[in-house]
């Protein structure tokens, strides 16, 4: 349905303006000249009526034969109709292909944007993981340093225990010598008991006192040895815990390295998808080039139609001139 009251005079004026600019008055050209208003059906019906009227006017003014006039009119209408149908079909195909390509481009653009956002997120995650791995490596280095310090402390305590053990062995050896001396003394005292009973008892008391002191010293050394053993056990426990923690840290580092490899593989796949998108973009640009070639062909068809229309007009003008020359001699013979 026509909008804004598209009438035949308006269509005829638009057609004349286009012809004055040497532009083929197609339906789309007339509609554009009218400000993109009116339906193509209404414009087509008005255009056919105008062409039919001009064809009738040509019959009245040039006095052409009915057969030539009908032939020229039918040929003109058929050529224009064929050309218009070809142009409209080409424009429809072009519009359909352009719409399809625009949808595909929009989808590819959205997908590319999503891939870029995913790449940014993965890059951030990779940086965070690398920072965490660096921190874990620093922690492991610190723990290894502490382990070495603990090992040095253990070595020192071990040397202290060995030194104390040597002292205990020396005291036990002295105690054994004392007991042997005491036994020998007892034998000697037994032989001289009657003579030196009081002196022997004093010596026994002195020896017993010395033995008590030696036993107390031995007990103190054994206590020190027990404490040293407990300290060594505690240090071994700390070293064991440190080794367990180091093993956990190494396990975490292995997991992080596997995650980094997985992220690297994912990055490679994303780069491959980006290459595919660039290939699709190149195909789309190639299709645009084909569309430009199609537009050129449509313009060439319009030019050929204009040339054929001019040839028909010249043919019509030539037929008119021949009939005029034929009528003039006949009139001269009648006068004679």
**Distance of alpha carbon 202 from alpha carbon 194, whole angstroms:** 14
pLDDT tens per residue, range 26-82: 888 889 988 888 888 888 898 888 888 876 654 444 444 555 566 666 777 777 777
**Distance of alpha carbon 115 from alpha carbon 113, whole angstroms:** 5
Mean pLDDT of 238-254: 80
Q: Is the confidence at residue 224, as pLDDT, over 80?
A: yes
**Between 304 and 56, where is the model more confident?**
304
Q: Is the confidence at residue 282, as pLDDT, over 60?
A: yes
Across all residues in the chain, what is the average pLDDT?
Answer: 78
Q: Is the confidence at residue 319, as pLDDT, over 70?
A: no
**Between 318 and 134, where is the model more confident?**
134
**Between 213 and 232, where is the model more confident?**
213
DSSP string, 184-231: HHHHHHHHTTTTSHHHHHHHHHHHHHHHHHHHHHHHHHHHHHHHHHHH
The residue count of the chain comes to: 336
Q: Is the confidence at residue 327, as pLDDT, over 50?
A: no
Query: What per-residue confidence (pLDDT) applies to 203?
Result: 74
> Which of the residue ranges 38-52, 226-240, 319-333 has the most confident prediction, judged by mean pLDDT?
38-52
Query: What per-residue confidence (pLDDT) applies to 69?
Result: 63
Query: What per-residue confidence (pLDDT) applies to 3?
Result: 45
> Which of the residue ranges 20-24, 173-177, 261-265 has the most confident prediction, judged by mean pLDDT?
20-24
**Distance of alpha carbon 18 from alpha carbon 163, whole angstroms:** 120
pLDDT tens per residue, range 107-144: 888 888 888 888 888 888 888 888 888 888 888 888 88
Residue 309's pLDDT band, with cuts at 50, 70 and 90, is: confident
CA 67 to centroid of chain Cα atoms: 72
Query: What per-residue confidence (pLDDT) applies to 322?
Result: 54
**Between 88 and 220, where is the model more confident?**
220
According to CATH, what is the number of the domain 110-305? 1.10.287
Sequence ranges of the domains in the chain: 110-305
pLDDT tens per residue, range 141-192: 888 888 788 888 888 888 888 887 888 888 888 878 878 887 887 787 678 8
- Sequence-separated (6 or more) residues with CB below 8 Å from residue 242: 143, 146, 147, 150
Q: Is the confidence at residue 324, as pLDDT, over 60?
A: no
Query: What per-residue confidence (pLDDT) applies to 325?
Result: 47
Burial 152-185 (b: 16+ CB within 10 A, else e): eebeebeeebeebeeebeebeeebeeeeeebeee
Q: Is the confidence at residue 330, as pLDDT, over 50?
A: no
């Amino acid at each position: 349905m026509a909008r804004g009251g598209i009438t035949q005079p308006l269509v005829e004026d638009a057609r004349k303006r286009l012809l004055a600019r040497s532009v083929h008055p197609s339906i789309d050209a007339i509609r554009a000249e009218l400000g993109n208003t009116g339906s193509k059906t209404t414009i087509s019906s008005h255009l056919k009526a105008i062409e039919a009227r001009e064809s009738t006017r040509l019959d009245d003014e040039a006095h052409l034969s009915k057969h030539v006039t009908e032939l020229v009119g039918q040929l003109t209408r058929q050529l224009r109709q064929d050309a218009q149908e070809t142009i409209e079909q080409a424009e429809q195909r072009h519009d359909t292909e352009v719409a399809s390509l625009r949808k595909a481009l929009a989808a590819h653009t959205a997908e590319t944007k999503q891939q870029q956002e995913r790449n940014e997120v993965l890059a951030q995650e990779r940086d965070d993981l690398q920072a965490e791995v660096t921190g874990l490596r620093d922690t492991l280095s610190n723990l290894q340093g502490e382990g070495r310090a603990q090992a040095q402390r253990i070595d020192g305590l071990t040397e202290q225990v060995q030194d104390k053990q040597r002292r205990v062995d020396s005291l036990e050896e002295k105690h054994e010598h004392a007991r042997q001396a005491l036994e020998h003394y007892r034998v000697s005292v037994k032989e001289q008991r009657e003579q030196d009973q009081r002196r022997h008892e004093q010596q026994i008391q002195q020896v017993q006192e010395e033995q008590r002191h030696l036993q107390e010293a031995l007990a103190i050394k054994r206590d020190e040895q027990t404490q040293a053993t407990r300290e060594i056990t505690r240090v071994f426990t700390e070293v064991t815990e440190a080794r367990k923690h180091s093993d956990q840290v190494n396990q975490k580092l292995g997991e992080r390295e596997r995650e980094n490899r997985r992220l690297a593989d994912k990055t490679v796949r994303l780069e491959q998808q980006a290459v595919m998108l660039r290939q699709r973009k190149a195909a789309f640009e190639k299709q645009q080039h084909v569309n430009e070639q199609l537009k050129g062909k449509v313009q060439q068809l319009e030019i050929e139609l204009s040339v054929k229309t001019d040839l028909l007009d010249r043919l019509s003008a030539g037929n008119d001139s021949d009939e005029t020359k034929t009528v003039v001699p006949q009139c001269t013979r009648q006068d004679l």
